[in-house]
Amino acid sequence: MGDVSVAVSARWPRSGYAAAVALASRIRLLVVGLLLCLAIPVVAPAQADADGPKERVVITGPVVVERDDTSGDVVVIDGDVLVRGTVDGDLVVINGEITLRGRVTGDVIAVTDKVIVGEAGKIEGDLRYGDKKPEGATSDTVQGDVKRFDAESIGAPLGVGIVIGVWLAVTLSIFLLGLVLLLLAPRAFEAIGRAGRSSPGKSLLFGLLTFILLPILALVALVTIIGIPLGFVLLFALVPLYATAYVSTAFILGRRILPNKAKILAFLVGLVILRLLALIPFVGGLIGFLALLFGLGAIFVAIGRARKA
């Protein structure tokens, strides 16, 4: 496995600004490892690189830093670590035992398994542990603090980052879908917009009925031999249909605010409002669900009006 040559020198936080800097450092290390988990299914066991102290990230397999070797930051997702030489930086192990008979200039973090510090071992930073209390961690071997690993303090900022990333991905996907639909069927969306604005109560009621009945119809069709293809088609069509319904609500909302502006601009305004409301805890999910129902109903109301015409 290749090395990641980005050095990290921040120590574990003690207070204030230093806490934020060190926390960002740990999150960066963990994110690098997790991203590599997605990119590389299997990684061979790694040995220390004697060319220079470079950062090393290992997904699975043991890591050994030999007596005369020097490594940069070491992050191991699953595997034991034996340090006889020097780790010039931080040592983070998610699942695996750490045996330290050499020197670590930064901090040592062991999330699940224990840390064994030998007589010649030396940690110049802090030692954070998870479930198992470290062995040999004394004031002579650890210059910093020895404390239990607070998983929540690390996971919370990372969790917020994941939520924001998902929110941005969903928002961009809906925008692209709406852009394509508006370019392909502008008149259809104008008809849906008129239906939603003129009959909001009817649209919401039709949307609720459709949301309930379509999955039931699909399951009933799957029970019958003849209707199995129809059942699968309905089930697979639900996701794009719901996405189109959400796009429709965003367009209707934007048209209400900008009745005489360009369709894409109106859709963008409506989408921004809906996606910002989605960030509100609990309430945002309810608003998104109602937007789905409303758009779904407006689509079928517009179809009904088109048939009558």
**Residue 158 and residue 117 share a domain:** no
Residue 228: both structure tokens together: 């199995």
Phi-psi region of 76 (alpha: psi -120 to 50; beta: other; left: phi over 0): beta
**Residue 123 and residue 38 share a domain:** yes
Axis-axis angle for helices 200-223, 283-308 (nearest 10): 90
Q: Does some domain include residue 10?
A: no
Q: Does some domain include residue 83?
A: yes
Q: Does some domain include residue 3?
A: no
**CA neighbours closer than 13 Å in the CB half-sphere of residue 15:** 0
Distance CA 113, CA 121 (A): 18
36-85 per-position pLDDT tens digit? 444 333 333 444 344 556 778 887 788 999 988 888 888 888 889 999 99
Residue 287 makes CB contacts below 8 A (sequence gap 6+) with 274, 277, 278, 280
Distance CA 210, CA 29 (A): 47
Higher model confidence: residue 35 or residue 304? 304
**Residue 252 and residue 162 share a domain:** yes
**Residue 245 and residue 138 share a domain:** no
**Residue 233 and residue 270 share a domain:** yes
C-beta neighbour count of 55 within 10 angstroms: 20
Q: What per-residue confidence (pLDDT) applies to 102?
A: 92
**Residue 206 and residue 191 share a domain:** yes
Residue 289 makes CB contacts below 8 A (sequence gap 6+) with none
**Residue 271 and residue 142 share a domain:** no
Q: Does some domain include residue 249?
A: yes
Q: Which domain holds residue 166?
A: 154-308
**Residue 144 and residue 43 share a domain:** yes
Which three-class secondary structure state does DSSP give residue 32? helix
CA distances from 97 to 72, 87, 194 (A): 19, 16, 64
The total number of structural domains that make up the chain: 2
Where is the domain boundary, 134, 149, 164? 149
Q: What per-residue confidence (pLDDT) applies to 16?
A: 46
C-beta neighbour count of 203 within 10 angstroms: 27
**Residue 175 and residue 143 share a domain:** no
208-256 per-position pLDDT tens digit? 999 999 889 888 888 887 888 888 888 888 889 999 999 999 999 998 8
Residue 181 · residue 192 · CB < 8 Å: no
102-148 per-position pLDDT tens digit? 999 999 988 878 899 988 899 999 988 887 888 888 888 899 888 88
**Residue 145 and residue 162 share a domain:** no
- Chain-centroid distance of CA 76 in Å reads 20
pLDDT band at 271 (very low <50, low <70, confident <90, very high): very high
**Residue 168 and residue 32 share a domain:** no
Where is the domain boundary, 149, 184, 202? 149
Q: For the chain, what's the residue count? A: 309
Distance CA 143, CA 256 (A): 64
**Residue 159 and residue 120 share a domain:** no
